[in-house]
Amino acid sequence: MLVELKSGETLNGHLVASDTWMNLTLKEVVQTSPDGDRFWRLPEVYVRGNNVRAPPPPLSLPSCSSCR
């Protein structure tokens, strides 16, 4: 899962847990600096929901016959 933070950093890792406040726990994370020049590997990261820039888009949208 790719998560963009308000600071401009990005986190890419496996989603382990989330809650209704959009707090996230990720494992096997690669953190990228806002300028994209530096990378860090982290075993686990907890992200408070208020630091997430925007929720990630869904992987797929359900089909809806009345939506056409």
Banded pLDDT at 54 (limits 50, 70, 90):
confident
Instruction: Name the average pLDDT for the chain.
Output: 89
Q: CA 51 → CA 17, 62, 68, distances in Å?
A: 16, 28, 35
Q: Nearest to residue 51, comparing CAs of 19, 17, 9, 20?
A: 9
Which of 2.30.30.100, 1.10.10.10, 3.40.50.720, 3.30.870.10 is the CATH number of 2-55? 2.30.30.100
pLDDT in tens, 14-37: 999 999 999 999 999 999 999 999
Q: Give the whole-angstrom CA distance, residue 42 versus residue 24.
A: 14
Q: What is the DSSP string of 21-35?
A: T--EEEEEEEEE-TT
